[in-house]
Structure 1
Amino acid sequence: MNDSSALNKNKFSTKELVLTAMFAAVMAVCSWIAIPIGSIPITLQTFAVFCALGLLGGRNGTFAIAVYILLGAIGLPVFTNFKGGIGALTGPTGGYILGFILMALLYWAGTKLFGHKLPVSIALMAVGLAVCYLFGTIWFVCGYSNGKTKMTFMGALDVCVFPYLPFDIIKLVLATVICSRIKKYISI
């Protein structure tokens, strides 16, 4: 392989750029669709992350998630409850949003190593979700425990993970079913 073909392989095509931007927008819209069940609502945000990875693959899905997070970081109201800015990312629940990057990087590396078969994709998304939960929960404990109040790891799991886990499993299953059907008919 010569140097110019290696460079072209690393470049994004126009189609990839458009799909990356589109999925960043889809993540924003899905984060706005919320069912309040306490201090942290149920959203379709993780569903959009699963779809971005399932349809775009590891590389483009990771970049779509990064664009989504960067849009929120600069202040656009793309996060749940129309929040944006660094404060949304550095707050107690910001670790779950930042954990999407870890989920995507794990998916990208896993598909490079093990391929793109459906069982591999499902397993990588499930492990990625667990990593996102772990990172977000540790972040929540550190952000919530501010000297006056303390939060235990189990307490954070009770508040931030256990109520949402069944919904996220349903979102993962729906996303993989939808993505596998879409991929049969559309070349993405």
Structure 2
Amino acid sequence: MNAREISLTALFVALTAVSAQIEIPLGPVPFTLQVLMVLLSGLLLSARLGFLTQAIYLLAGAIGFPIFAGFTGGFAHLYGPTGGYLLAFPLASFIAGLFAERFKNPYLWIAGSLLALGVIYLLGWLRLGLYLGGNFAKALYIGVLPFVPVDTAKAILAVGIARAVKRALPEF
């Protein structure tokens, strides 16, 4: 990795941490802006660097840095009700980045971002369902469905931001 990649990775780790603090509590799964940063890290950096960015974010939070929602940290978050969502972040960023690298069509970037969002929902729903004692229907109703409209808008916004940044800064 060169200095530019290290700097951009660190920047997006910090942006993901800040976006986690912008939250609206909705039960066991809060509404945050993390998904926006997860998608942007892949769309703007690359599949590889997006994955690395989110993996570093998870590692830093797991070892206790207070960078998860509500200025919290610790390994318990990866095992708790939101653990599946968090663990999906590197993969989701990789998927969004892969679509941005492979395709020029912005609609395919949106499709990749929505696929990435689906991965976050799938892993989050599975973990939350297990946390709720196998009540996957309840997990769907409290951990996925309330978030779909807003997260879909965030995916579209992420693509718009990424395209604007890449037009303004082609070297990005």
* TM more than 0.5: yes
Tell me the residue number matched to 2:123. Answer: 135
Distance in structure 2 (CA, Å) of the matches to 1:38 and 1:152 = 15
Label 1:99 to 1:86 Cα distance change in 2 as closer, same or farther (>3 A). Answer: same
Amino acid at match of 2:140: L
Amino acid at match of 1:88: H
Deviates more, 1:100-109 or 1:18-27: 100-109
Distance in structure 1 (CA, Å) of the matches to 2:34 and 2:115 = 17
The answer (yes or no) to whether the contact 2:28–2:81 under 8 Å persists in 1 is no
Structure 1 residue runs of 4 or more that deviate by more than 6 Å after TM superposition: none
Q: Aligned match of 2:152 in 157, 163, 169? A: 169
2:151 is the counterpart of 1:125: no
What 5-or-longer segments of structure 2 have no aligned partner?
none
Alpha-carbon offset, residue 92 of structure 1: 1.8
Q: Deviations over 1:110-129 (max 9, x none)?
A: 556x4354222211110111
Alpha-carbon offset, residue 75 of structure 1: 0.6
The answer (yes or no) to whether the contact 2:20–2:34 under 8 Å persists in 1 is yes
Tell me the residue number matched to 2:28. Answer: 39
- Give the structure-2-normalised TM-score: 0.92
Tell me the residue number matched to 1:24. Answer: 13
**Structure 1 segment 1-188 matched on structure 2, within 5 A:** 12-110=1-99, 114-145=102-133, 151-186=134-169, 187-188=171-172
| 2:145 aligned counterpart, secondary structure | coil
Q: Deviations over 1:57-84 (max 9, x none)?
A: 2111111111111110111011111111
Alpha-carbon offset, residue 87 of structure 1: 0.3
Amino acid at match of 1:128: A
Amino acid at match of 2:163: S
How many residue pairs match? The answer is 171
Alpha-carbon offset, residue 162 of structure 1: 0.6
Q: Over the residues paired in the alignment, what is the CA RMSD in angstroms? A: 1.6
Label 1:75 to 1:116 Cα distance change in 2 as closer, same or farther (>3 A). Answer: farther
Among all aligned residue pairs of Structure 1 and Structure 2, give the percentage whose two residues are the same amino acid: 36
Amino acid at match of 1:173: I
Q: Deviations over 1:13-71 (max 9, x none)?
A: 21011000100000000000112233322110101111111111211111111111111
Amino acid at match of 2:145: F
| 1:163 aligned counterpart, secondary structure | helix
Alpha-carbon offset, residue 102 of structure 1: 2.3
